[in-house]
């Protein structure tokens, strides 16, 4: 009986390993939901039948404000939900053609700068990590010429934190570890949250994950924010990935879905505290190239009050070289409820068993840890 219970309890872990080892273009991915295609082609697995249309708040975001953030009018967004996952909303690439260029450039060029915090800080000085873009751009421009060169610092980047900086050891945020949250990303997040029914959302913390093709993100729950009534927003750019959306318990079988460049996910309500993971980043089916939606340049004539800034072809050349073998994900959170402050002394209720939780950092196959880390909280 004990062995049977253990086998059932490991369903999520087994599926994580299965998709981590999956081969693109084979039957391995037949059960993965693809929101970017017609309903009839969304997969043959049990998850395909769960897809439903999500109703958005069309009047909450003006067409002009959507344009300022580089988004199509909300009336044109393709938003979906999943039966059994109330509060989960998947928006299939609502960005206007070319506007993803800005957000990719910001992740690589601006958000990676100091005073923001990144994984490289643990082994390097602030001076060495002050401007990763400047130190990496020539390496990336020459990537096609010399593929055996050492990796640039940007290619060694795994995560960056914004706003209230997440402490990976204590699993907490704190008032004294804060830098101003990027205003353009805050505006984008506010529009998406409002369209999903969350007017007044405040972007207070961000975790950016930088995936290589061999990177994974273990099973975890995002519960460190003090206000769980506000949604978690997730923005994906670059190569596609498989996302596993599980249940409140780690042993519940997850539903797999593709996340393509430009896709946005919103986890709120019941779905806000669900287990989830990224077991696989998928190389472009056409080889060493970018997704088609990234092939259109950012328009030169931007609205006067746009939060989106021009992106030079020289800068995009660096971004494109990076994204051919990578994916970037931005997650944005509201940490505190309106009028709420951080507790002076953490209560027993909020304490985390750090030893049991391990870590939810990105793993890749050439790191010291060869297997996926499965973490309940990050």
What one-character-per-residue DSSP string does 26-57 give?
SGGGTTSB-TTS-GGGS-SSGGGGGEEEPPP-
| Residue list, annotated binding site for Fe cation | 220, 222, 276
Question: Which pLDDT belongs to residue 48?
Answer: 56
Does 241 reside within a domain? yes
pLDDT of 226 reads 93
Q: Is residue 214 part of a domain?
A: yes
358, part of any domain = no
- pLDDT(27) > 80: no
> How would residue 151 be classed by pLDDT, with cut points 50, 70 and 90?
confident
- How confident is the model at residue 163, as a pLDDT? 98
Determine the Cα–Cα distance for residues 321 and 186; give it in Å rounded to an integer.
27
Residues 190-200 have pLDDT tens digits of 999 999 999 99
Residue 42's pLDDT band, with cuts at 50, 70 and 90, is: low
Please say whether the beta carbons of 119 and 158 come within 8 A. yes
Least confident of 19-33, 208-222, 338-352: 338-352
**CA–CA dist 170, 351 (Å, integer):** 9
For residue 105, give the CATH number of its domain. 2.60.120.590
pLDDT for 351 equals 46
Q: How far apart are CA 51 and CA 142, in angstroms?
A: 43
Going from the C-alpha of 76 to that of each of 37, 48, 73, 154, 359, the distances in angstroms are 16, 23, 6, 35, 39
- Residue 50 pLDDT level (bands cut at 50, 70, 90): confident
Q: Is residue 352 part of a domain?
A: no
Condensed to tens digits (0 to 9), the pLDDT of residues 80-124 reads 999 999 999 999 999 999 999 999 999 999 999 999 999 999 999
pLDDT band at 376 (very low <50, low <70, confident <90, very high): very low
Range of the domain at 316: 11-333
Q: Is residue 197 part of a domain?
A: yes
Mean pLDDT is lowest, of 1-15, 254-268, 298-312, for 1-15
Q: Stretch 249-277: mean pLDDT, rounded?
A: 95
Q: 187: pLDDT confidence band, cut at 50, 70 and 90? A: very high
> Most confidently modeled of 15-19, 59-63, 143-147?
59-63
Query: Within 10 A of 103 (CB to CB), how many other CB atoms are there?
Result: 23
Mean pLDDT of all residues in 258-271: 97
φ and ψ of 85, to 5 deg:
-130, 65
For residue 358, give Cα distances in angstroms to 1, 13, 132, 169, 170: 29, 16, 28, 9, 11
Could you tell me if 175 and 155 are in contact, meaning their C-beta atoms sit under 8 angstroms apart? no
Q: Percentage of residues in the chain with pLDDT exceeding 90?
A: 70
Structure confidence at residue 150 (pLDDT): 75
Q: Count up the domains in the chain and report the number.
A: 1
Q: Are 232 and 331 in contact (CB under 8 A)?
A: yes
Residue 356 covered by a domain: no
pLDDT band, very low/low/confident/very high, at 47 (cuts 50, 70, 90): low
Does residue 203 surpass a pLDDT of 70? yes
Question: Model pTM?
Answer: 0.88
> Does any domain span residue 284?
yes
Has residue 364 been placed in a domain? no
Q: Which residues are annotated as a binding site?
A: 220, 222, 276
Please determine, for residue 377, whether its predicted confidence score (pLDDT) is greater than 90.
no
């Amino acid at each position: 009986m004990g062995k049977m219970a253990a086998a059932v309890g490991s369903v999520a872990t087994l599926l994580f390993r299965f998709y981590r080892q999956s081969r693109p273009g084979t039957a391995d991915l037949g059960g993965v939901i693809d929101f970017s295609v017609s309903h009839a082609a969304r997969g043959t697995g049990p998850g395909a039948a769960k897809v439903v249309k999500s109703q958005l708040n069309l009047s909450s975001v003006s067409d002009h404000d959507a344009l300022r953030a580089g988004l199509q009018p909300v009336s044109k967004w393709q938003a979906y939900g999943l039966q059994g996952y109330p509060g989960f909303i998947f928006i299939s690439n609502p960005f206007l053609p070319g506007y993803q260029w800005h957000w990719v450039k910001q992740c690589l060029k601006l958000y990676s700068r100091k005073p923001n915090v990144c994984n490289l800080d643990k082994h390097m000085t602030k001076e060495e990590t002050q401007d990763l873009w400047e130190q990496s751009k020539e390496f990336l421009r020459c990537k096609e010429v010399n593929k055996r060169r050492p990796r640039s610092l940007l290619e060694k980047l795994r995560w960056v934190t914004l706003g209230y900086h997440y402490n990976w050891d204590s699993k907490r945020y704190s008032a004294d570890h804060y830098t101003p949250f990027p205003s353009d990303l805050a505006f984008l997040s506010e529009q998406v949250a409002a369209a999903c029914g969350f007017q007044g959302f405040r972007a207070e913390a961000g975790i950016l994950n930088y995936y290589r093709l061999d990177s994974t993100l273990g099973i975890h729950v995002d519960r460190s924010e003090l206000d769980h009534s506000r949604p978690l927003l997730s923005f994906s750019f670059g190569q596609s990935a498989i996302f596993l959306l599980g249940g409140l318990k780690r042993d519940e079988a997850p539903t797999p879905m593709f996340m393509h460049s430009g896709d946005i996910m919103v986890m709120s309500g019941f779905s806000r505290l669900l287990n989830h993971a990224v077991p696989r980043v998928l190389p472009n089916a056409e080889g060493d190239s970018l997704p088609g939606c990234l092939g259109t340049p950012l328009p030169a004539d931007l609205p006067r009050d746009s939060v989106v800034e021009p992106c030079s072809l020289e800068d995009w050349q660096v971004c494109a070289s990076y994204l051919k073998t990578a994916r970037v994900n931005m997650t944005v959170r509201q940490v505190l409820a309106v009028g709420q402050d951080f507790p002076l002394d953490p209560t027993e209720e909020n304490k985390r068993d750090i030893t049991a939780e391990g870590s939810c950092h990105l793993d890749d196959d050439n790191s010291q840890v060869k297997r996926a880390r499965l973490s309940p909280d990050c």
